[in-house]
Amino acid sequence: MPATVRVPPGSRERFTQLSNRLEAATARLEDIATSTIELPQAVPALSHAVAPPTNAGSPAPTPAAAASPALKSVPEEPLPESVEDFDAFISQSVDKYVQASNKLGGLIAEQAAKVLEGFKQQRRFLLVSTKAKKPDFSGSEMAVYQDLLKPINEALMAVGSIKESNRGSPVFSQLSAVAEGIMVLAWVTVDNRPYKHVEESLGSAQFFGNRVLKEYKDKDPAQVAWIQAFYQVFKDLTEYVKQYFPSGIPWNPKGLPAAEVAKSIPKPGAAASSAPPPPPPAAGGAPPPPPPPGPPPVLQIKEEGRPADPAPGAGLGSVFNEINKGSDVTKGLRKVDRSEMTHKNPSLRAASVVPDREASGRGKSPAPGKKPKPESMRIKKPPKKELDGNKWLIENYERHSEPIEIEASINHSVLISKCSHTTIIIKGKANAVTVENTQRLSIVVDSLVSTVDVVKSSNFALQVMGVIPTVMMDQMDGATIYLSRESTATRIFSSKSAGINLNILDNDEDDYKEIPLPSQMCHHFDEKKGQLVNEIVEHAG
């Protein structure tokens, strides 16, 4: 007869409890591994997908049943490039302003939190616009559009409310600068060049912001850094809007209705608030295994390129602290003995050797880079002489051995540019001659209908064989003009010029008489006449 094993009363129930708890713990560990490796980054249903802990007497969930089908659905959809760059803008520019605000604390930090909330809500609006069709503003979809803008508007109103509620605050100028600039959030509603709205918002913020700069320039570097960080938000946003939205929000012509897309994209912070309460403790008094981590926030902001926080005691603050010590700043310096002074001990100067940079481990400081020359200076263009319509073009002649001759008619104008050490002969009666950027250029002219106009040239020579009415010179450094007997009535105008000599034929002899043109003027106000008097300064002798 087989032996009968007696089981103590209650042992079977305790064994069943331990078995159920072990299976529940195994299922939870598998869920944690699945959620941290295979799941998308933002799945709102994650917190509801894990089976809650069971009581001791209930059947334990199996690993297959513990994972909801929603967890293995669609793979993560990549963000549009415009949204990714907006995340980077928030992470770098806006976050830097928020950090500077938190350093100042108080109302400034409170207002900065509302600004950050506004940009987060704007990020959701941009994400919706990439997936949804543009709402019909004339129909029932206008309400949907207003609902999308409502969180942005609420953040905007909150920023202004902080300013209005603290008019007597010592930081009222700071609060006013942010309240004036927060209207920048409305750029998403502008269809024609929205970046202009961003620039105008910066101008509004600078009205009060420049007061902050002026007041704290020499008092508090933290305030200066704060307002500059706020200005940088506008500058970076302008470049972002120019790149992605030069003509406003394009929406998605092939997308779904905006109302449907808006429901599928939770608002910032909604995922955290929808997390279920912690599970009750399991029977038997033992604490349950830790629940799997909840989903990450919807707003995934990039951390690349984010500037590192300055080390404690570093930066402008420590520099100003040292300066403010006054005469105490030199207390830590050692007094040099007379025997160690090289200017009083020639033997020390003779024995001193400049240490080798490589031996001392100190590299040579890089020399400042040379500014590249303009393309026109690096590439030497070939000389050119051609008639283009009614205009003669003579360019890029340098040290030409023979005189350059052209036959001009009454309707021809002549343009001479970038010629040096060259002689040009213009035969016939032309309309006008223009000379620019030349050195040591000589021109022989028969007659002209209009003027010879010379600009930015040096050591210029002009000989008139017939008649010309006017010579105009601007920014000249040295010029010689020879006039014929028929052209003695020629009028010469000069400005910003010096060293101009006029040569006229003597009536008695066939020889030129040189007359220097004055280049110095004297100006004074005549109280009797009530006007300004301009006089030529003549140097006699």
Domain parsing of the chain, residue ranges: 11-72, 81-270, 380-536
**What's the CATH code, domain 380-536?**
2.160.20.70
Residue 221, phi-psi category: left (phi > 0), alpha (psi -120 to 50), beta (remainder): alpha
CA distance 292 to 27: 11
- Other Cβ atoms closer than 10 A to 75: 8
Q: CA angle, 83 as apex, 121 and 229 as ends, to 5°?
A: 70
Q: Which residue has the tokens 């449907």?
A: 260
Residue 81: the pLDDT is: 92
CA distance 263 to 303: 28
Residue 358: the pLDDT is: 46
- Residue among 509, 44, 96 at smallest CA distance from 274: 44
Q: Which two tokens stand for residue 257?
A: 């209705």
Domains 81-270 and 380-536 share a fold: no
CA distance 196 to 191: 11
Q: Convert the pLDDT of each residue in 77-98 to its tens digit.
A: 788 999 999 999 999 999 999 9
Residue 46: the pLDDT is: 35
- Residue among 429, 436, 435, 479 at smallest CA distance from 450: 429
Question: Is 446 strand, coil or helix?
Answer: strand
CA distance 33 to 120: 30
Residue 298: the pLDDT is: 42
pTM: 0.40
CATH superfamily of the domain spanning 81-270: Adenylate cyclase-associated CAP, N-terminal domain (1.25.40.330)
Q: Which two tokens stand for residue 343?
A: 């200017």
CB 293 within 8 A of CB 32: yes
Residue 101: the pLDDT is: 95
Residue 356: φ, ψ to 5° = -70, 135
Burial per residue of 194-230, b for 16 or more beta-carbon CB atoms within 10 angstroms, e otherwise? bbebbeebbebbbebbebbeeebeeeeeebbbbbebb
Residue 530, phi-psi category: left (phi > 0), alpha (psi -120 to 50), beta (remainder): left
CB 281 within 8 A of CB 287: yes
Side-chain half-sphere of 34: how many Cα atoms within 13 Å?
19
CA distance 217 to 228: 12
Could you tell me how far CA 16 lies from the centroid of its own chain? Answer: 68
- Residue among 296, 265, 307 at smallest CA distance from 88: 307
CA distance 247 to 204: 22
Q: What is the dihedral of CA 126, 130, 133, 138, to 10 degrees?
A: 20
Residue 145: the pLDDT is: 86
Could you tell me how far CA 457 lies from the centroid of its own chain? Answer: 39
Residue 501: φ, ψ to 5° = -120, 135
The mean pLDDT value of the chain amounts to 77
Q: Which two tokens stand for residue 404?
A: 């350059």
- Residue among 495, 492, 493 at smallest CA distance from 504: 492
DSSP state, residue 7: P
CB 302 within 8 A of CB 86: no
Residues of the chain scoring pLDDT < 50: 1-2, 5, 35-74, 270-279, 281-286, 294-310, 312-316, 357-360, 541
CB 55 within 8 A of CB 282: yes
CB 255 within 8 A of CB 133: yes
Q: Which two tokens stand for residue 347?
A: 């033997």
CA end-to-end distance (rounded Å), the chain = 154
